[in-house]
Chains A and B, each alone.
Chain A
Amino acid sequence: MSGLHETMAAVTALTAAIAGFASLSLGIDRHWEALHGRGTDPGAWRRRLQGAGAGGLLVSLLACVALRGSAQGWVAWAGMMTAAALTVVLTLTYLPHRLPPLAKAMGVIALLAALAMLAA
Chain B
Amino acid sequence: MKDGFRQSMAWLHTWSGLLVGWLLFLVFSAGTAAYFRDEITLWMKPELHQAAHTPVPQAVALGHAQALLARRAPTAQRWFVTMPSEREPAVRASWVPAKPEAKDGAAKDAKPKGRRRFESAELDPATGEELNKPRATRGGDFFYRLHFDLHYMSPIWARWMVGVAAMCMLVAILSGIVTHKRIFKDFFTFRPAKGQRSWLDAHNVTAVLALPYHLMITFTGLVTLMFLYMPWGVQALYPSQDRFFTDLNNALPADARPAKQAVPLAPLAPMLAQASAAWDGAPAGRVTVNFPGDANATVLISRQSGRTIGYDQPDMLFDGTSGRMLSSTRHTGAATTTRSVLYGLHIARFSNPLLRGLFFLSGLAGCAMVATGLLLWAVKERQKHAKRLAHGGRHIGLRLVDGLNLAAIAGLPVAMACYFWANRLLPAAMAQRPEAEIRWFFIAWGVTALVALARPTRRMWQAMLAAGGVLFALLPVLNGATGGAHLVTSIAHGLWPVAGFDLVTLALGGALLLAAWHLQKPAVLKKPSHKPLAAEAA
Contacts and interface: CB of A to CB of B under 8 A. Distances in A.
Contacts, number: 86
B443 interface: no
B358 A35 contact: no
B188 A76 contact: no
Interface in B192-242: 192, 205, 209-210, 212-213, 216
Interface string A10-48: 100000000001001100101101111110000000000
A25 B309 CA distance: 32
A68 interface: yes
Contact of B358 (A76, A96, A97): A76
A119 interface: no
Interface stretch (B18-26, B86-94, B110-118, B529-537): B529-537
A72 B185 contact: no
Interface in A68-86: 68, 71-72, 75-76, 78-83, 85-86
A76 B354 contact: yes
Contacts of B272: none
B188 A72 contact: no
A82 B187 contact: no
Nearest to B210: A82
A96 B190 CA distance: 12
B188 A83 contact: no
Contacts of B210: 82
Contact of A37 (B345, B352, B359, B534): B534
A81 B365 CA distance: 13
Q: How large is the interface on B (under 10, 10 to 19, 20 to 34, 35 or more residues)?
A: 20 to 34
Q: How large is the interface on A (under 10, 10 to 19, 20 to 34, 35 or more residues)?
A: 20 to 34
Contacts of A89: 188-190, 205, 209
A96 B532 CA distance: 11
A31 B534 CA distance: 11
A75 B189 contact: no
Contacts of A10: 354
A114 B522 CA distance: 48
A21 B209 CA distance: 11
B361 A30 contact: no
A46 to B, nearest CB: 13
A34 B365 contact: no
B428 interface: no
B362 interface: yes
Contacts of A68: 352, 355
Contacts of A80: 358
Nearest to B357: A79
A88 interface: yes
A31 B188 contact: yes
A49 interface: no
A10 B352 CA distance: 11
B355 A75 contact: yes
Contacts of A38: 532, 534-535
A7 B205 CA distance: 29
A31 B532 CA distance: 11
B442 interface: no
Given A34-B534, A79-B361, A82-B213, A93 B190 contact: yes
Contacts of B352: 68, 72, 76
Given A68-B352, A71-B309, A97 B537 contact: yes
A79 B209 contact: no
A92 interface: yes
Given A34-B532, A76-B354, A78-B212, A25 B362 contact: no
B350 A82 contact: no
B322 interface: no
B329 interface: no
B383 interface: no
A32 to B, nearest CB: 10
A37 B534 CA distance: 5
B190 A35 contact: no
Contacts of B350: 72
Contacts of A97: 533, 537
B187 A37 contact: no
Contact of A79 (B188, B190, B362, B535): B362
Contacts of A33: 532, 534
Contacts of A76: 352, 354-355, 358
A78 B210 CA distance: 8
A97 B538 CA distance: 12
B400 to A, nearest CB: 32
Contacts of B535: 37-38
B120 interface: no
Given A89-B205, A96-B533, A75 B361 contact: no
A19 B352 CA distance: 24
B127 interface: no
Given A79-B359, A85-B188, A93-B190, 14 more contacts: A33-B534, A35-B533, A38-B532, A76-B352, A78-B212, A79-B213, A79-B355, A81-B209, A82-B213, A82-B358, A83-B358, A85-B209, A86-B205, A89-B205
A-B pairs, top 5 by smallest CB distance, nearest first, are A79-B358, A37-B534, A25-B188, A85-B209, A78-B212
13 contacts: A10-B354, A28-B188, A68-B352, A68-B355, A75-B309, A76-B358, A79-B355, A79-B362, A81-B209, A86-B365, A92-B189, A92-B190, A93-B190
Interface of B: 185, 187-192, 205, 209-210, 212-213, 216, 308-309, 345, 350, 352, 354-355, 358-359, 361-362, 365, 532-535, 537
Interface of A: 10, 21, 24-25, 28, 30-31, 33-38, 68, 71-72, 75-76, 78-83, 85-86, 88-90, 92-93, 96-97
